Structure formats: C-alpha cells, structure tokens
C-alpha cells in the first residue's frame, strides 16, 4: 500500500520558496483543555509508579487549530485513491484526516493532511515548516472532547524518500502527524518535491 502523500500542492501557481512568513509574533489565543489522563496500570512492582498513558476513545476530528500560525480549519475525512495513495483535500481548505489512522487522541499516530496552497490561495498548512518544538495543535472532536498536542519536531523529506514507518507505524502513545508539501517547486510535474511533516504528542484532553 502506498501511503506517501504525493499531491498536496496540485493546481499551484505560487512557488513556496518565495512565500511570506506565516508564524505569528503572538499566537492566537486558544482555550487549552484541562490536563486529564487515562491510566493504564502495568505489572510494575509495588515500589514503581503505575504506567500512565494519556489517550482518548475513538471520535472523529471536526476542527483543528494551530495557534502559532493563526490557523483554524474544519476537518474532512480522507481515504485512499485507487493507486493506494492517500486522498488529499479538494482545495486550500479544509484539512483532511486520514480515516485509516487513529482518531486524534487515540493511541497511535493520527494523520492530518493539508495544502500549502491551491489555485493561488494560501492553504491551511502553508506555515507548517515554521512550527517549532513546544507549539500546540488543538483538535476538536465530534464527541465534544478536545485533544491538545505538543509539537515534538518538524522534518522535511523528499517525496521519493517518504518516512512511511515513522508517519504511519505503531507508537506507544497518542500522536499526531501533520503533512503538507515543501521544498522546491517542480514546474514539469506542477508539484513540490518534498513533504513537510510535523510530529506531535498528546499532552492534554478536555
């Protein structure tokens, strides 16, 4: 199964290399969810503290906010194309959730994809590569709960060297991956050559 994101910048007119800064000097205010945990006790001895994993039950995402970029977008479902690649959103907005990944807040890597730009319009994930460790990503879910994630790292990879296992593989916590296009623009293919990937971990629920 092909899981790399191959076309997150189709119908693009403005190369990303000349883009304006997207990061805000003062992040947009978001009401943070209160920290709660779902405890899962291990077989550790009496002297050891119980293992605690922060996670939520399954519930589809309906909105994502990235305060450092001033971004708010509704979230749609994304499946697979006939060739096995992941579908992409139909325009600059909304962001899409890959529906074969965990829902945000569940154990495992939830995957959200969005465009850098589309048809000359700035996309929801235009500023992803400007995120830094510690930034927040807040996801509202259909059950009324909120999952708040902390950015761990931001990476850029050539599309022909997409880190499939790191993005989609099993992990021992509730994680989030944000994916968009990056790198230089290929005039022949009409697409960017790289993918920007944000790796984040659940830090609060509410």
Q: Are 193 and 158 in contact (CB under 8 A)?
A: yes
pLDDT at position 52, please?
64
Mean per-residue pLDDT, 56-73:
97
CATH number for region 16-205: 2.40.260.10
Which residues lie below 8 Å from residue 26, measured CB to CB, with a gap of 6+?
Answer: none
Q: What is the pLDDT of residues 103-128, one digit of tens each?
A: 999 999 999 999 999 988 999 999 99
Q: What is the DSSP letter of 182?
A: E
Query: At 36, is the pLDDT very low, low, confident or very high (cuts 50, 70, 90)?
Result: very low
β pairing state of 117-118 and 38-39:
unpaired
Query: Rounded to an integer, what distance in angstroms lies between the CA atom of residue 24 and that of residue 39?
Result: 36
Q: Which range (2-11, 126-135, 188-197) has the least confidence?
A: 2-11
Q: What is the pLDDT of residues 127-178, one digit of tens each?
A: 999 999 999 999 999 999 999 999 999 999 999 999 999 999 999 999 999 9
Query: At 37, is the pLDDT very low, low, confident or very high (cuts 50, 70, 90)?
Result: very low
Query: Rounded to an integer, what distance in angstroms lies between the CA atom of residue 28 and that of residue 41?
Result: 37
Q: Pick the closest to residue 200 from 84, 64, 71, 70 (CA basis).
A: 64
């Amino acid at each position: 199964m092909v899981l790399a994101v191959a076309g997150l910048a189709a119908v693009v007119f403005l190369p990303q290399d000349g883009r304006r800064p997207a990061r805000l000097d003062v992040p947009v205010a978001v009401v943070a969810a209160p920290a709660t945990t779902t405890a899962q006790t291990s077989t550790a001895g009496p002297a050891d503290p119980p293992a605690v994993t922060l996670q939520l039950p399954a519930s589809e995402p309906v909105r994502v906010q990235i305060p450092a970029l001033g971004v708010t977008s509704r979230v749609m479902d994304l499946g697979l194309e006939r060739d096995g690649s992941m579908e992409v959103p139909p325009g600059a907005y909304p962001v899409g959730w890959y529906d074969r990944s965990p829902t945000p807040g569940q154990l495992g890597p939830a995957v959200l994809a969005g465009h850098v730009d589309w048809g000359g319009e700035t996309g929801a994930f235009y500023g992803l590569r400007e995120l830094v460790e510690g930034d927040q990503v807040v996801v509202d879910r259909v059950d009324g709960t909120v999952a708040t994630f902390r950015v761990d790292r931001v990476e850029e990879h050539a599309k022909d060297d997409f880190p499939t296992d790191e993005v989609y593989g099993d992990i021992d916590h509730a994680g989030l991956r944000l994916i968009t296009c990056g790198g230089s623009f290929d005039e022949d293919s009409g697409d960017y050559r790289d993918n920007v990937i944000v790796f984040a971990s659940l830090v609060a629920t509410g």
